[in-house]
Chains A and B, each alone.
Chain A
Amino acid sequence: SAVISQKPSRDICQRGTSLTIQCQVDSQVTMMFWYRQQPGQSLTLIATANQGSEATYESGFVIDKFPISRPNLTFSTLTVSNMSPEDSSIYLCSVAWQDPAGELFFGEGSRLTVL
């Protein structure tokens, strides 16, 4: 398993601003992902954070809105840009090791409220 730390754990932001969420893992991991969980909803994959290269985004998510960095094997950031109330959600960092079917571990999440 892994200890996954996310910062901030929660924040209240104004419309039009941007917020960067950090994810730190206590060991090197192969795969890092960012998920969104809207209130009372399921988990939706935003993108796969690729170390040293551009993230791979899922349908409906774009780099301009959700820029992602992953400078090394233990750290990633997700920025939510030009926020609107519709971006109010929990953002979850998750990690897995390269394995034929490796377990996915989640961070505690960052609860974002946009006013």
Chain B
Amino acid sequence: GENVEQHPSTLSVQEGDSAVIKCTYSDSASNYFPWYKQELGKRPQLIIDIRSNVGEKKDQRIAVTLNKTAKHFSLHITETQPEDSAVYFCAARKMNYGGSQGNLIFGKGTKLSVKP
């Protein structure tokens, strides 16, 4: 089955710097890669996702890149702010035969701390 590795497990940056979190996946059939942000005591919330037919997607200060050949994808946060501090999870999913949704497999998470 699918296996998702996420690095680093913790990341500390100064406010205004960029942060990069990287994930690799094992199943080449995976075609959907979301990123979730989980603040302390809150539910995970989707911040950005990318499908396998594109290599990059950007939403304001957040961008995700996908390298299907190498089977890795990354989250980039620019101009970090203290409110970006949270745990970030990457995930991967593939289509099951017949077009139904496959299961979402999560990485272990990255705790991002943005210091003022």
Report if A and B associate in a common complex: yes
Listed in ascending order, the chain A residues whose CB lies under 8 Å from chain B are 31, 33, 41-45, 48, 58, 92, 96, 98-109
Residue on A nearest B109 in the bound complex, by CB: A42
Take A41-B108, A42-B89, A100-B95 as given contacts and tell me if A106 and B103 are in contact as well, using a CB distance cutoff of 8 Å.
Answer: no
Interface residues of B in 61-110 (CB under 8 A from A): 89, 93, 95, 99-101, 103-109
B interface, by DSSP: helix, strand, loop or mixed? strand
Take A103-B34, A104-B46 as given contacts and tell me if A96 and B108 are in contact as well, using a CB distance cutoff of 8 Å.
Answer: no
Contact between chains at A43 and B89 (CB < 8 Å)? yes
Closest CB-CB distance, A97 to chain B, in whole Å? 9
Closest CB-CB distance, B36 to chain A, in whole Å? 8
A106 to B32, alpha carbons, bound, how many Å?
A: 17
In the complex, B22 has a CB within 8 A of chain A: no
Q: Which residues of B contact A92 (CB under 8 A)?
A: 43-44
In the complex, B7 has a CB within 8 A of chain A: no
Q: Which residues of A contact B43 (CB under 8 A)?
A: 92, 106-109
Contact between chains at A103 and B49 (CB < 8 Å)? yes
Residue on B nearest A102 in the bound complex, by CB: B101
